[in-house]
Amino acid sequence: MTEIIRNNPGKRMSESVIHGGTVYLSGQVGDPSSDLQAQTREVLAKIETLLAEAGSSKSHMLMATIWLADMADFAAMNEVWEDWIVPGAPPARCCGEAKLAQSELLVEIMIVAAVAG
């Protein structure tokens, strides 16, 4: 059986889980006092850090799930996203509108990536 590694496990979830050469990140959110683009940049910085800690990188992303509190923010979020992703290596992606855990949260992103190497 392949080992399952749970990074920073808490009562309800782990920050990331690695299994079979794949890393799964929990949904990441930014500072609720920030605007949409600042929250998106904060989330993407967290994702980069978590991927690096798991032996991966944004160029190894396989799937991104993005939740917006309001789909009216889709274009503004995409401006930040498109500046961040590695050219020629975008992941499969979906984006939807959802009521997030706090009303001030505007974006949450979950990532699945291959472990590098």
8 A C-beta contact, residue 30 and residue 39: yes
pLDDT at residue 117, rounded to an integer: 72
Mean pLDDT of 88-101: 97
This model's pTM is above 0.75 = yes
Please determine, for residue 1, whether its predicted confidence score (pLDDT) is greater than 80: no
Mean pLDDT of 12-18: 96
CATH code of 54's domain: 3.30.1330.40
Phi-psi group of 21: left, alpha or beta (phi > 0 → left; psi -120 to 50 → alpha; rest → beta): left
- Name the DSSP letter for residue 116: P
Instruction: Count up the domains in the chain and report the number.
Output: 1
DSSP string, 51-100: HHHTT--GGGEEEEEEEES-GGGHHHHHHHHHHHSPTT-PPEEEEEE---
Q: Which domain holds residue 34?
A: 4-114
pLDDT at residue 75, rounded to an integer: 98
